[in-house]
Chains A and B, each alone.
Chain A
Amino acid sequence: MDNIILKVCTKVLFTPIILFGLYVQFHGDFGPGGGFQAGVIVAAAFILYAMVFSVEDCKVIMPPKLNFFLLALGAFLYGFVGIVGLILGDPYLSYDVLGSSKEAGQHIGILLVEFGVGLTVCNVMISLFYSFANFNFGKKNND
């Protein structure tokens, strides 16, 4: 696609989309939002970039290896927050012990867990897009 308007618009929109994604991410504590929605919004920025420019261009800003690493990291972060609570003497995934007070602990816990969710959802979306974009639909038969 070689449309200058689309390209410029995408370049302008790319950062605000991610910013909005982060807003939804961290707003999840107090109102509608959270990791799932934010992850999809952030992934939408990358997918838009890939569609307007090309999948190869997108792979420069989000290499598949990094993509996969972040995918695992998000889920790992979720589990690790649980394990920290476990080591500090409470059951798995209890956030009370993470902060100075019970409320602070809950806040930190849910923030980190949601961030892990967001990271994983975002990267799962991107890697799904990559795997479909790289799929040779019926091209093998022509060879």
Chain B
Amino acid sequence: MTFIIKNLPILIVITPLMFSLIVAVLSNNRLAWILSTFASFLTMIFSILLCFELSNNSNISYYLGNWPPPLGIEYVIDKVSIIPIIIVSVIGFIATLYAHNFFILEIDRNLVSKTYSLWLLTIAGLMGLITTADAFNLFVFLEISSLSAVALVALGSKMDRKALIAGYNYLILGAVGATFYVIGVGLLYGVTGTLNMSDLAQKIPALGLNKSVIVAFTFMMLGIMVKAAVFPLHIWLPNAYAYAPSPVSVLLAATATKVSIYILVRISYTIFGPSYEIYTFESLRYVLLYLAILAMFAGTIMAIFEKDVKKLLAHSSVAQIGYIVLGISLATSPGIASGFIHLINHALIKAGLFMSVVAMGYYTLKRIDVNSITGLGRQVPITFFAFVICALSLAGLPLTVGFISKLYLIKAAFMSEGIWLPFLILVSSALSLIYIWKLIEGLWYNKTNSKSEKIKELPEIYIPLLIISFLNIYFGIDADLIIDNSFIASDALISGIK
């Protein structure tokens, strides 16, 4: 068993990767699902073990193929990267558990096992993105995760042909983002001769205000901002989430952009942080901060006017990404911590919301539209219950996780920017109540007097949903775990700079 403990950093990546290759050749869809669930369960167990392992040391470093860095590829797990690892593995497991009914319904029967293969490949790619400490290896995982995600989005074409266009947009913009990133890495490699992140961080200060480094920083940040769907580079996101097969929306909405934001943090604080302190922080403050504020309002307003519920949630994701980026762009310890808190909480909230909305779509066998949902909540009470919890959490009602993240975000914003920024955050939160109320009202009050029969809800759909809703409440009441770890992570990032 010691070899498992010793190799945890790589096991969380290769478990889904290897299983995806096994699952791909299976012809039995149910077996493919069971194996995928098993693989994501193993990944989750390994991540949790890693969490315990990390409590003893400050970071775990792993050399691939026994080649020491900076020559070889190094994987590093520290207090910062453990947060997205837990998010991806836990949400990945719950979403896999949840996925089967939907894939059977929404995808051609002979493609289901290949879909699971792509699904596991996406999880493996995301895990790799988080663990790797090598700038070029990160690009490889960026491609693995986004290409498989593109294929997953395009698989929604059986239900709606628009999925093909959405997937194509995602492909092109994702490729542009990845190319920008790799141009930046190339420039950095040209001037430093290394690809290892900590080695880069050591070598960049000596270069002073080298133009290549500045350009590299810009390219890398822009590339990852496309992937993270930071406003105004979010154009691919709403359609990709809306037309993807239902479980894919859940997985991508809860994990993919979060991981990209994590990379954004890594680039600006770990690679460029120590040397380009002034440079990085100015750009964070004067570019990301205002983009984040715009995202908060643009996303919310787009969501208010949107009819299609899945797309509405996707627009709201753009706004929520704005909150996360806002926290991170403050570049103070409480600011980054609030960003991480919302990163975790938003993953829980959006996973729950997407899961309940696609469950309603599954029960009624149609796309959930704002006009077609009248009284649907009464027909599916359990799903509606979970939806309301997650929706109120999104709005930031006390006793839910959304409240915790808003609280810390406003506190951090007040501490560094004064009163105007908290005011803007509160206004956009109040605006988000409009679309949330629109949904809840539509779902509960039956304006048309048509007879509504109860629909039998399936336990395999509502149990994962209730788990997520429970987590939404639980971490809203007992938030210490999330808050403490976020502050540890932000202190680790800031102390790397000082």
**Residues on A facing B (Cβ under 8 Å):** 68-69, 72-73, 75-76, 79-80, 82-83, 86-87, 89-96
State whether the Cβ of B21 lies closer than 8 Å to any Cβ in chain A: yes
Q: Which A residues touch B22, using CB under 8 A?
A: 72, 76
Kindly state the separation between the CA atoms of A87 and B11 in the bound complex, as whole angstroms.
Answer: 11
**Residues on B facing A (Cβ under 8 Å):** 3, 7, 10, 14, 17-18, 21-22, 24-25, 62-66
Assess the A82–B14 pair: CB atoms within 8 A.
yes
23 A-B pairs in the complex with CB atoms less than 8 angstroms apart: A68-B24, A69-B25, A72-B21, A72-B24, A76-B18, A76-B21, A79-B14, A79-B18, A82-B14, A83-B18, A89-B3, A90-B66, A91-B7, A91-B10, A91-B62, A91-B65, A91-B66, A92-B7, A92-B14, A92-B65, A93-B64, A93-B65, A96-B66
Cross-interface CB contact of B65 among A69, A76, A94, cutoff 8 Å: A94
Q: Which B residues touch A75, using CB under 8 A?
A: 21
Query: Residue among B10, B24, B62, B66 with the most chain A CB within 10 A?
Result: B66
Assess the B3–A79 pair: CB atoms within 8 A.
no
Kindly state the separation between the CA atoms of A93 and B137 in the bound complex, as whole angstroms.
Answer: 15
Q: Other than the known A72-B24, A73-B21, what 8 A-B pairs have Cβ atoms closer than 8 Å?
A: A72-B22, A79-B14, A83-B18, A86-B7, A92-B10, A93-B64, A94-B65, A94-B66
If over half of B's interface residues share one DSSP class (helix, strand or loop), that class is named, otherwise mixed; here it is: helix
Assess the A91–B18 pair: CB atoms within 8 A.
no
Kindly state the separation between the CA atoms of A73 and B24 in the bound complex, as whole angstroms.
Answer: 10
Kindly state the separation between the CA atoms of A80 and B17 in the bound complex, as whole angstroms.
Answer: 11
Q: Which A residues touch B24, using CB under 8 A?
A: 68, 72
Assess the A91–B64 pair: CB atoms within 8 A.
yes
Assess the B21–A86 pair: CB atoms within 8 A.
no
Cross-interface CB contact of A80 among B7, B18, B66, cutoff 8 Å: B18
Q: Which A residues touch B10, using CB under 8 A?
A: 86, 91-92
Kindly state the separation between the CA atoms of A76 and B20 in the bound complex, as whole angstroms.
Answer: 9
Kindly state the separation between the CA atoms of A26 and B21 in the bound complex, as whole angstroms.
Answer: 25
Q: For B117, give the chain A residue with the smallest CB separation.
A: A72
Q: For A91, give the chain B residue with the smallest CB separation.
A: B66
Kindly state the separation between the CA atoms of A73 and B21 in the bound complex, as whole angstroms.
Answer: 8
Q: Which A residues touch B21, using CB under 8 A?
A: 72-73, 75-76, 79
In the A-B complex, the 8 residue pairs with the smallest Cβ-Cβ separation, listed nearest first, are A94-B66, A93-B65, A92-B10, A76-B21, A94-B65, A72-B21, A72-B24, A79-B18
Kindly state the separation between the CA atoms of A19 and B10 in the bound complex, as whole angstroms.
Answer: 37
Query: Residue among B7, B18, B21 with the most chain A CB within 10 A?
Result: B21
CB distance from B1 to the nearest CB of A (A): 12
CB distance from A92 to the nearest CB of B (A): 4
Assess the B3–A92 pair: CB atoms within 8 A.
no
Assess the B25–A91 pair: CB atoms within 8 A.
no
Kindly state the separation between the CA atoms of A84 and B33 in the bound complex, as whole angstroms.
Answer: 26
Q: Which A residues touch B63, using CB under 8 A?
A: 91
Assess the B65–A86 pair: CB atoms within 8 A.
no
Kindly state the separation between the CA atoms of A82 and B66 in the bound complex, as whole angstroms.
Answer: 11
Assess the A83–B14 pair: CB atoms within 8 A.
yes
Q: Which A residues touch B7, using CB under 8 A?
A: 86, 91-92
